[in-house]
Amino acid sequence: MRILVTGGQGQLGSSLQRALAAHDVVALGHADLDVANSRSVDDAVARYEPSLVIHAAALTDTGRCEREPAVARAINGIGAENIAKACRRVGARLIAISTNEVFDGEKTSPYLESDATGPLNAYAISKLDGEWLAAAACPDTLVVRVAWLYGSGGNNFVEKVKVAAASGRPLSFVTNEVATPTSTEDLAVAFGQLIERKAPAGIYHLTNAGEASRYDWAVEILRLAGLADVTIEPVTAAELAARGYEGPRKPAYSVLANTRAAALGARLRPWREALAAYIENARIATDV
Ligand X SMILES: NC(=O)c1ccc[n+]([C@@H]2O[C@H](COP(=O)([O-])OP(=O)(O)OC[C@H]3O[C@@H](n4cnc5c(N)ncnc54)[C@H](OP(=O)(O)O)[C@@H]3O)[C@@H](O)[C@H]2O)c1
Taking Cα atoms as reference points, which of 256, 212, 209, 207 lies closest to residue 234?
212
What per-residue string of b and e applies to 93-120 under the rule 16 or more CB within 10 Å gives b? Answer: bbbbbbbbbbbbbebeebbebebebebb
Residue 113 or 239 having the CB closest to ligand X: 113
Q: Does residue 146 touch ligand X according to CB under 6 A?
A: yes
Q: Does residue 59 touch ligand X according to CB under 6 A?
A: yes
Q: Does residue 75 touch ligand X according to CB under 6 A?
A: yes
Angle at 137 between CA 132 and CA 142, to 5 degrees: 65
Span of 110-118, 143-151, 189-197, 218-226 interacting with ligand X by CB under 6 A? 143-151
Site residues for ligand X, window 21-50 (CB under 6 A)?
Answer: 30, 33-36
Residue 125 or 149 having the CB closest to ligand X: 149
Residue 124 or 219 having the CB closest to ligand X: 124
Among 69, 88, 154, 201, binds ligand X (CB under 6 A): 154
Taking Cα atoms as reference points, which of 30, 24, 23 lies closest to residue 8?
30
- Looking only at the bridges linking them, the beta strands covering 178-179 and 202-205 are unpaired
Residue 123 annotated among the catalytic residues of the structure = yes
CB 123 within 8 A of CB 271: no
Single-letter residue type at 31: A
Minimum Å gap between C-beta 175 and ligand X is 19
Site residues for ligand X, window 109-138 (CB under 6 A)?
Answer: 127
Site residues for ligand X, window 80-99 (CB under 6 A)?
Answer: 97, 99
Handedness of CA 253, 265, 188, 140 (dihedral sign): negative
Residues with a catalytic annotation lie at: 123
Residues that bind ligand X (CB under 6 A): 6-7, 9-13, 30, 33-36, 56-60, 75, 79, 97, 99-100, 127, 146-149, 154
